[in-house]
Amino acid sequence: MSNDICDFIQEKKNQSVKFDLEAAKKLVDRAEYLGKSMADNRVTTTQIRNVYGTMKKLEMLGWNNRTARELWLMKPRLAYAAKRQKNVEELKTTISEAIDCVNDAESFKRFCQFFEAIVAYHRAHGGS
């Protein structure tokens, strides 16, 4: 699945529109699957708020060296959350894979969109 995530996050300028749309659809499907799975496993918004809140703050700052550093530091937070709550493991794995794919402002923007989609689907499927 990480290839699909990276395909979307690291969209290349020379990729066809068809490829980009297919990558986006796969990513949305993955976000919905993960959001539903988290809701079914009773992952609460509180459990993901710390990491999601950090991502939103970084998004407001825009892409720079500090943002890149702070983004990478989200991985230990996710690991800590997953260790405390086993039902967060799948989120940790997916978001960590997505972080690995971020290398510039555009890929960071797509990472934020992916994370927002996960949270939206979590709520849509009854996550509290």
25-67 residue pLDDT tens: 888 899 999 999 988 988 888 877 778 899 999 999 999 999 9
The tens digit of pLDDT for each residue in 72-91 reads 999 998 999 889 888 889 88
pLDDT at 95: 92
Q: pLDDT band at 3, cuts 50/70/90? A: low
pLDDT at 12: 60
pLDDT at 15: 57
CA distance 123 to 85: 19
Which of 20-24, 50-54, 77-81, 101-105 is predicted least confidently? 20-24
pTM, whole model, 2 decimals? 0.85
- Which has the closest alpha carbon to 35: 125, 110, 99? 125
Q: 10 — phi, psi (to 5°)?
A: -100, 40
CA 68 to chain CA centroid, nearest Å: 15
CA distance 100 to 6: 8
**More confident site: 23 or 59:** 59
Q: pLDDT band at 119, cuts 50/70/90? A: very high
99 contact partners, CB below 8 Å, separation of at least 6: 71, 72, 74, 75, 111
Task: Look at the chain and count its residues.
Answer: 128
